[in-house]
Structure 1
Amino acid sequence: MKKIFTENGLSIAFILLFLISITGQFFAGHKEYNTERAEAGRTSVNYSEYLSSGHFIEATFENWESEFLQMALFVVLTIFLRQKGSSESKAFDKKEAVDREPSRLHRHVPWPVKAGGWILSIYKHSLTIALSLLFLISFALHFYGSLKDENEQRIEKHKPTETAAQYISSSKFWFESFQNWQSEFLSVFAIISLSVFLRQQGSSQSKPVDAPNSETGE
């Protein structure tokens, strides 16, 4: 058991933080949603009803969507683009291990490398593919939840509901998306830029404390 935590401590810590956060979001959102319904003279919903509500689905996947978009773009753009002095960039003056063609000769090679062919072709880009698919799924669920929540509010106000085709071009939906996208892009810009000048001893996201600002890469 100790070995499991030692070898997977980073992922375990973040999945626990995620579970704590989404639990807090769920209960706080449930209370807020019922407060809004009470103010509108509507009955409260229970936990299972809230879980499938547009309010919860939209709020959850609106954030997931921006996270996966940011990570997918960061993975792709770091293939081609550089930032002098940043620990988040590949070096200018040398080829790095991630650029080499996969070899079947070393020990413990992953099975897709051994398989070769189209399986290897997919595996070589599997991180980008996975993150892009997670973004698209989250985007679709954000849209579904936002549309559902919007139509619930329109019914409450005795207004006609909107179709998916109408809502996809609405300013509300794109405002929800862009307000999250911009914060993710800013956070990536911050870590790329600040890692040029600032350090954190012991972190893989920082250059060594005694490295010059002009040194690119970890």
Structure 2
Amino acid sequence: MSVFLRARPTEWSWARRNGLFLANAIVFLLCFAGMVLAGWRVSEHDAVLHGQAVESLWGFLTSGDFAEATFENWESEFLQMGSYVVLTTFLFQKGSSESKSLDEDAPQDADPREHADDAGAPWPVRRGGLALVLYENSLLILFTVLFAGSVVGHVIGGAAAYNEEQVEHGAGVVSGWQYLGTSQFWFESMQNWQSEFLVITVMVVGTVWLRQRGSSQSKPVAAPHAETGD
């Protein structure tokens, strides 16, 4: 038994080091699976109501409705985080743990070119030039690419779903580009975008006065309300 107890910390060390990623990835997969199954049941119900053939699970996964529902949500999430990355580089909120300090230089603002010889510095920092320019903006680049890809998926899936309804009602179909100009596309987008920025607004302001002990997203519980940053 004593051997087992001594070995256990080593066995769990990888999971402990990556616990935040693992927890979020598992919850994402569970919720995504729930979305697929619930959405499939909804499509079955709608098909029965309209006297149509019930789709297979694969048919639902490749449908415009599923693509539109999935990508319009991903699009808003990537927009939220990409925008937040940019806004927190030059905007401040006094007293918020989500803001850089108003009075002190932030480590994030340090010029990486002065650390090219530091031990353990990432390769782009040591390389300099274009590699460093891309690397020092790589987080924004990532979210921009993911947002753009999600918009494309939303447009393709949304246009397919939109055209199905158009055909059912004897109206003309639209291209993906034309779908971008419809109220339907912007309603689908804005209903998600507004909620994402609402959450960020609540988080930024809430962390001025409220705390969560142990969380990296909160100031220390005893910190003054006016203290800015974490």
TM-score normalised by length of structure 1? 0.97
**In the TM superposition, what whole-angstrom CA distance separates every residue of 1:85-108 from its partner, at most 9, and x where no partner exists?**
000000011111110011123221
Sequence identity (%): 44
Q: CA shift at 1:154, angstroms? A: 1.9
| Aligned twin of 2:109 | 99
Moved more, 29-38 or 184-193: 29-38
Q: Which moved more, 1:103-112 or 1:122-131?
A: 103-112
Q: 1:194 aligns with which of 206, 209, 222?
A: 206
5+ residue gaps, structure 2, are 1-10
In the TM superposition, what are the counterparts of 1:11-30 in structure 2 within 5 Å? Answer: 11-30=21-40
- CA distance in 2: counterparts of 1:164 and 1:126, whole angstroms: 29
Equivalent positions of 1:1-150 (< 5 A) are: 1-102=11-112, 103-150=115-162
TM-score (norm. length: structure 2): 0.92
SS in 2 for 1:55: helix
Which residue identity is paired with 1:148?
A: A
RMSD: 1.0
Q: CA deviation at 1:159?
A: 2.5
Give the whole-Å Cα distance in 2 for the aligned partners of 1:165 and 1:146: 11
Q: Distance in 2 between matches of 1:164 and 1:2?
A: 48
Between the aligned partners of 2:13 and 2:158, the Cα distance in structure 1 is 43
Partner amino acid, structure 2, of 1:161: V
Deviations 1:156-187 (A, max 9, x none): 33322122233211111100000000000000
Residues 177-200 of structure 1: per-residue CA shift (max 9 Å, x gap)? 000000000000000000000000
- Higher radius of gyration, 1 or 2: 2
In 2, Cα distance between equivalents of 1:123 and 1:2: 32
Which residue matches 1:185?
197
Task: Quote the residue 2:3 is aligned against.
Answer: none
Structure 1, residues 49-106: CA drift from partner, whole Å, max 9, x if none? 1111011101011100000000000000101100000000000111111100111232
Q: Distance in 2 between matches of 1:46 and 1:39?
A: 17
Q: For 1:2-26, what per-residue CA distance to the aligned partner results, in whole angstroms no more than 9, with x for missing partners?
A: 2221111001100000000000000
After superposing on structure 2, the runs of 4+ consecutive aligned residues of structure 1 that deviate more than 6 Å are: none
